[in-house]
Amino acid sequence: MLITIPDVLTAEQVSYARAKLDAAQWVDGRVTAGHQSARTKDNMQLPEGHPVALELGEMILGALGANPLFVSAALPLRVFPPLFNSYAGGQSFGVHVDNSIRQDERTGGRIRTDISATLFLTAPEDYDGGELMVEDTYGAHSVKLPAGHMVLYPSTSLHRVTPVTRGARVSSFFWLQSMIRSDADRALLFDLDQGIQRVSAEAPGSGAAVALTGVYHNLMRRWAEM
């Protein structure tokens, strides 16, 4: 399931984040690449554990926790601390798949990467190229979102970032371990949850909404991993 989460950050939060990031010292992005992806990765990155990354990561995690659409779509169990990267001057990231396990350098904690996330921090009109291309059974999907918007997609997906030929593409990226391992099961629960919300809005107090909510939670009991 590929889904866009709009307005994760406000315009003011994006501006604050960009000011902090623009003043920070960046390093070669291959520091977090696996053996295969290091061959195709060409970007800059804020080091893990950098004070700016930690501060902005907390801001992002706080915003996500208050975003009902994100919670409904991801059903997060654990979230890897947000990282930050930048593409400019023709930089790109070739086709790759994300590592299945990620370890936090600071805590040693590990997560299984079920969902990958990219939170855009640059307005699309400010750079050329830089599209996130995500492949699934229906083909390749091009993603280039307004600043403050985020996309979620299965970490099992092949994906790439096209060359940035003008300006700079700055974003946050991270991974999530979901309570629901299967992408197909998450998609089913998301659709059911959205349907329940529509029924509840159109027919408040409806017995149908109560019955569907029961189905939702019984499926969660069957599938959830804690």
Structural tokens at position 55: 């501060």
- As a whole number of angstroms, the distance between CA 134 and CA 219 comes to 28
Q: How many helices (H) and strands (E) does the chain have?
A: 5, 17
Comparison of pLDDT for 105 and 185, the residue scoring more:
185
Does 216 share its domain with 161?
A: no
In 3D space, the residue among 184, 197, 160, 175 whose CA is nearest the CA of residue 68 turns out to be 197
Q: What is the pLDDT of residues 104-156, one digit of tens each?
A: 988 889 999 999 999 999 999 999 999 999 998 889 999 999 999 999 999 99
Q: Using CA atoms, how far apart are residues 7 and 157, in angstroms rounded to an integer? A: 24
pLDDT digits (tens, 9 = 90+) for 18-54: 999 999 999 998 776 655 666 788 999 999 889 999 9
User: Mean per-residue pLDDT for 1-27?
Assistant: 97
Q: What is the pLDDT of residue 35?
A: 59
* DSSP-assigned letters across all residues of 84-127: EEEEETT-EEEEE---SEEE-TTT--EEE--EEEEEE-S-GGG-
pLDDT of res. 4 = 98
Mean pLDDT of 164-175: 98
What pLDDT shows up at residue 38? Answer: 66
**Residue 166 in this model has a pLDDT that exceeds 90:** yes
Q: Are residues 113 and 188 in the same domain?
A: no
Name the token pair of 43: 């970007």
The arithmetic mean of pLDDT across residues 67-88, rounded, is: 97
Determine phi and psi for 218, rounding to 5 degrees: -70, -35
Type of residue numbered 4? T
The whole domain housing 154 covers: 3-178
Looking up residue 202, the CATH number of its domain turns out to be 4.10.860
Give the CATH number, domain containing residue 64: 2.60.120.620
Hey, which residues does 152 pair with through a beta bridge? 3, 117
Q: What is residue 32's predicted lDDT score, i.e. its pLDDT?
A: 63
pTM over 0.75: yes
- Residue from 86, 75, 81, 85 nearest 167 by CA: 86
| Structural domain total, the chain | 2
pLDDT at residue 224, as a whole number: 97
Asked whether residue 131 falls in the same domain as residue 188, the answer is no
Give per-residue pLDDT as tens, 192-223: 999 999 999 998 888 999 999 999 999 999 99
**For residues 187, 79, 68 and 178, what is the CA-based torsion angle, rounded to 10 degrees?**
30
Give the single-character DSSP code of 179. S
> In terms of domains, do 115 and 202 share one?
no
Does one domain contain both 140 and 217? no
